C-alpha cells in the first residue's frame, strides 16, 4: 500500500494515529481537526473503533450496571425537560468582540395605529407585513431553525484538564447553513463579568487559516447551574469542525493565547 489513508501525508497520518491512540495533545487535536476533511478523520476513528472490537468483552459488575442504568435514565429524563426550565445565558453587550452583535434575537410586535377606514387598515396590514416579515422570520427561535435545518448537528462538550472547567458538561448544536446554534452548559462555573468572561471560538474548515485563526464566537456569561447560550458568529462559518471555550478577560480577546482552554466540542462528520 503505497498511498496512505485518505491521501494524507506522513505528518497528518502520524497525528491521526496519535489521536486515536490517545497520544495527541488537545491543542494538536484542534489543529488536526481543522486541517483535514472531518469525514476522513471520522473514517479513521471508526477503523480504530472497529479494531477495538477485538477486545474480549467482560461483564459489568451487577451493582455497576444498576448505577449506570439509573444514571443514564436520570440524565435522559432531565434532558427531555422543556428548555424554559433553564437559565438563559447572558450575552455581554459591553467590550470588544462580537458580543454586541450576537444578542438573542427578539420579536418585534407592531403597535397598530388607530385607523377608521378599511382600505387604510388593509394597506397598513400589508405594509406592516412587508416591513416586519423579515424581522418576524428572524425571530424564529434557534430551536425552530435547528429543527428544520437539514445539516443541524450536535456534539458534547469535552473538558480539558484546566481546573477552571470544573465539572462542566453539555452540548453544542449548530447548523452551517443557517449559521446559528446554541450551547448548553451544565456545571460550568458562574462568572463575574467584571472579573472574567467565557469566549467561544469556532474552527471553520472552509477558511484557509481555519486552524490558526478560529472564528471569534463572542463572549458570554454563565448565570446558573444550567445555562443555554445562543451562538451567532460575527463572521460567516462555512464548515464548523470544532467549538472551543476559553476563559478570557472581560470583553474577550481578538486572539486567544489558549492559556485557559476549558471545553471543546468536535462536530461529527456528516
Partner 1 sequence: MLLPSHGAAAESLAGASIGGKMTDTQAQDDLLLPRIARGDAHAVQECLERFGPLVWSLARKLMRDVATVEDLVQEIFIEVWKSAGRYDAARASEATFIATIARRRVIDRRRRISRAPGEEVIEEGMRGGDDPGLEMVEVRDEARRAHEALERLQPERRKVILMSVVDGLTHQEIATVTGMPLGTVKSHIRRGLDEAAQLLRPRRQEGEA
Residues in contact with partner 1 by the rule CB under 8 A: 1, 3-6, 10, 13-14, 16-17, 19-23, 25-26, 39-40, 43-60, 64-65, 67-69, 71-73, 75-76, 79-80, 153-154, 156, 158-161, 171, 268
* Residue located via cell numbers 444514571: 71
**Closer to partner 1 at the Cβ: 136 or 156?**
156
Of 21 and 109, nearer to partner 1 (C-beta) is 21
Q: Which is nearer to partner 1, 69 or 133 (CB)?
A: 69
- Residue 65: CB minimum distance to partner 1, A: 6
**Taking the complex as a whole, how short is the minimal distance between the CB of residue 205 and partner 1, in angstroms?**
15
| Minimum distance of partner 1 from residue 102's CB (angstroms) | 25
Using the minimum distance from each CB to partner 1, give the nearer residue, 72 or 121: 72
Taking the complex as a whole, how short is the minimal distance between the CB of residue 54 and partner 1, in angstroms? 5
**Which one, 72 or 126, has the nearer CB to partner 1?**
72
CB of 42 to partner 1, least distance (A): 8
Q: Pairing between strand 226-231 and 87-88?
A: parallel
Per residue in 146-168, is it b (16+ CB within 10 Å) or e — as a string? Answer: beebeebbebebebbebebbbeb
At 31, give phi and psi (nearest 5°).
Answer: -65, -45
The C-alpha cell 397598513 sits at 124
**Of residues 143 and 171, the one with the C-beta less far from partner 1:** 171
We find the least distance from the C-beta atom of residue 144 to partner 1, in angstroms, to be: 18
Amino acid at each position: 500500500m503505497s498511498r496512505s489513508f485518505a491521501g494524507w501525508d506522513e505528518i497528518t497520518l502520524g497525528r491521526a494515529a496519535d489521536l486515536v491512540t490517545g497520544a495527541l495533545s488537545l491543542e494538536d487535536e484542534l489543529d488536526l481537526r481543522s486541517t483535514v476533511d472531518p469525514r476522513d478523520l471520522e473514517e479513521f476513528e471508526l477503523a480504530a473503533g472497529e479494531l477495538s472490537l477485538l477486545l474480549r468483552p467482560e461483564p459489568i459488575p451487577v451493582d455497576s450496571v444498576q448505577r449506570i442504568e439509573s444514571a443514564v435514565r436520570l440524565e435522559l429524563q432531565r434532558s427531555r425537560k422543556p428548555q424554559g426550565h433553564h437559565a438563559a445565558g447572558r450575552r455581554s453587550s459591553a467590550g470588544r468582540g462580537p458580543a454586541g452583535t450576537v444578542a438573542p434575537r427578539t420579536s418585534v410586535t407592531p403597535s397598530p395605529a388607530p385607523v377608521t377606514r378599511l382600505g387604510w387598515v388593509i394597506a397598513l396590514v400589508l405594509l406592516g407585513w412587508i416591513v416586519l416579515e423579515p424581522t418576524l422570520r428572524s425571530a424564529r427561535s434557534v430551536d425552530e431553525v435547528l429543527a428544520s435545518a437539514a445539516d443541524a448537528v450536535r456534539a458534547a462538550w469535552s473538558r480539558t484538564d484546566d481546573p477552571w472547567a470544573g465539572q462542566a458538561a453539555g452540548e453544542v448544536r449548530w447548523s452551517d447553513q443557517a449559521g446559528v446554534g446554541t450551547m448548553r452548559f451544565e456545571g460550568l462555573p458562574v462568572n463575574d463579568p467584571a472579573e472574567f468572561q467565557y469566549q467561544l471560538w469556532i474552527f471553520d474548515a472552509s477558511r484557509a487559516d481555519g486552524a490558526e485563526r478560529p472564528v471569534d464566537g463572542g463572549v458570554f456569561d454563565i448565570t446558573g447551574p444550567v445555562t443555554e447560550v445562543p451562538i451567532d458568529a460575527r463572521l460567516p462559518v462555512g464548515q464548523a469542525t470544532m467549538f472551543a471555550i476559553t476563559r478570557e478577560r472581560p470583553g474577550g480577546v481578538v486572539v486567544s493565547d489558549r492559556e485557559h482552554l476549558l471545553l471543546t466540542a468536535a462536530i461529527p462528520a456528516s
